[in-house]
Amino acid sequence: MLAVPNKRLVRQMLLNAVRKPLTISFHLLHTARRKLFTTMAASQAEVQSSGASKNPKLKAVPDVDIDKNGRFKYILIKVHDPDKEREFKHIVRGYARCEYH
């Protein structure tokens, strides 16, 4: 299950944004997105099958792969080992070459 942000913290951030406009650079935004999706992919460990963490084929696949020019579109993929029934995990991918559809 994904972590839900603290409502009080989100409310305070929104109030601060209204009071004082905030300018965020692309680099800062991209770094924040990478951290967010890395955290989300790590939290998917609870969603993966129980044997996925021990499966060498699934362990070899990185949880998150987002290139520097990744867009605001990310793909959540469920991968599985065809040799092992019911072993899977979720991965996140984001590449600039993948167009929005």
pLDDT digits (tens, 9 = 90+) for 47-86: 667 777 788 888 888 888 888 775 567 788 889 888 887 8
What HEC string does the chain produce? CCCCCCHHHHHHHHHHHHHCCCCCCHHHHHHHHHHHHHHHHHHHHHCCCCCCCCCHHHHCCCCEEECCCCCCCCEEEEEECCCCCCCEEEEEEECCCCCCC
| Average pLDDT of the residues in 3-23 | 69
pLDDT digits (tens, 9 = 90+) for 21-44: 556 677 777 777 777 767 766 665
- CA-CA-CA-CA torsion for 32, 3, 76, 66, nearest 10 degrees? 20
| Residue 70 to residue 30: CA distance in whole angstroms | 8
Residues of the binding site: 73
Residues of the binding site for substrate: 73
Query: Catalytic positions, please?
Result: 101
Q: Residue 10's Cα: distance from chain center in Å?
A: 19
**Rounded to two decimals, what is the model's pTM?**
0.50
Residue 92 burial (CB count, 10 A)? 19
Which phi and psi (to 5°) does residue 43 adopt?
-70, -15
| Residue with the larger pLDDT of the pair 86 and 2 | 86
Confidence of residue 1 (pLDDT cuts 50, 70, 90): very low
Whole-number pLDDT of residue 52: 75
Whole-number pLDDT of residue 3: 57
